[in-house]
Amino acid sequence: MDSALFPLVTDSDARLPLYLTSVGHWTHQDPVSRADGYPDYQWLQVVSGEGRLMIGGRQMAVKAGQALCLYPNVPHRYEAVKSPWGLHWAAFNGPLSESLLREAGVGESGVYGTARPELAVAHLRGLYELASSSGGSFTGKEMSKRLYAMLLDLRGVLEGAGTGGPHMERLGPVLRLIDEHMHRTITLAEMAEAAETSPQHLCALFRQALEMRPMAYLNRERIKRSKELMFRESGLPIREVARRVGFEHASYFGAVFKRLEGQSPERFKRMHGLKS
């Protein structure tokens, strides 16, 4: 059954980081054309049929299991090409909306593949159930929390997001190399050899999968290991901690630690009540 709910957005709700403006589902979505766009963000999860989205002079096919994301005030049209075109959707706004979408890799209006569409649908159904159970008295804070959870989970919902997609499989030997041998010098060339690729392509794989360069990942893993080591053997001198996680010089270890953690290793130990 088709259904849509439109929460009352109070002045207090509109000051929340996120707030819901509509939620619902269609067993078959009729054509929608908006020359001036829509005032809120929209996430529309396709559960059956096929459709197409026209936006910015482009036409994109949309199949079951995929999703449409529409940014505010962007002119668009979408319509079914194979019925029934079933959708679950939520419209929302608030100052956190764009940053959370971009963090998930949704930087613009368009069609997005989803590796876990059932998770998106579960969130959308949860929002609908919360709205419908309120009997017309919508709870803005509860809606805001549900929206926050949904947008945080988008990274895991999207195809290739969160897990790095197919690139992570290629990086598996490199990540194992780092995990097992970070106590010694590891060069970019050695990492590339483990992945059976060139250093340049390895850097591209790391950017696509983990949004950082290989040596930056190596340093982050070394700092993480150093913190674990300081807890496990709190009496170790800092220079020995540095050596065991692959830093030749304690001064460089200290500089990297402070850049990543915002404090020196010595201060980290004091804050956690560890032996100096």
Contact 68, 62 (CB under 8 A): yes
Give the side-chain half-sphere CA count within 13 A for 189.
0
Domain boundary among 157, 191, 213: 157
Residue 109 lies in a domain: yes
- Stronger pLDDT, 211 or 30, i.e. the higher one: 30
pTM summary value: 0.62
If asked whether residues 10 and 104 sit together in one domain, one would say: yes
pLDDT digits (tens, 9 = 90+) for 56-92: 889 999 999 999 999 999 999 999 999 899 999 999 9
If asked whether residues 191 and 128 sit together in one domain, one would say: no
Mean pLDDT for the stretch of residues 95-101: 94
Per-residue model confidence (pLDDT) at position 159: 60
Domain boundary among 92, 127, 157: 157
Contact 117, 45 (CB under 8 A): yes
If asked whether residues 25 and 124 sit together in one domain, one would say: yes
Distance CA(70)–CA(181), nearest Å, equals 45
Range of the domain at 117: 3-157
Per-residue model confidence (pLDDT) at position 57: 87
Give the CATH number, domain containing residue 198.
1.10.10.60
With 0-12 CB in 10 A as exposed, 13-18 as middle and 19+ as buried, what is 19?
A: buried
Per-residue model confidence (pLDDT) at position 46: 95
Q: Are strands 41-55 and 32-34 parallel, antiparallel or unpaired?
A: unpaired
If asked whether residues 195 and 247 sit together in one domain, one would say: yes
If asked whether residues 17 and 64 sit together in one domain, one would say: yes
If asked whether residues 22 and 134 sit together in one domain, one would say: yes
Per-residue model confidence (pLDDT) at position 182: 93
Distance CA(48)–CA(66), nearest Å, equals 10
pLDDT digits (tens, 9 = 90+) for 183-210: 999 999 999 999 999 999 999 888 877 7
Residue 276 lies in a domain: no
Distance CA(269)–CA(276), nearest Å, equals 7
Domain boundary among 93, 126, 157: 157
Contacts 24+ apart (CB under 8 A), 165-172: 165/208, 165/209, 167/205, 167/208, 167/209, 168/209, 170/195, 170/197, 170/205, 171/195, 171/205, 171/206, 171/209, 171/210
Residue 260 has pLDDT above 70, yes or no: yes
Mean pLDDT for the stretch of residues 8-34: 92
If asked whether residues 105 and 183 sit together in one domain, one would say: no
If asked whether residues 207 and 142 sit together in one domain, one would say: no
If asked whether residues 148 and 34 sit together in one domain, one would say: yes
Number of domains in the chain: 2
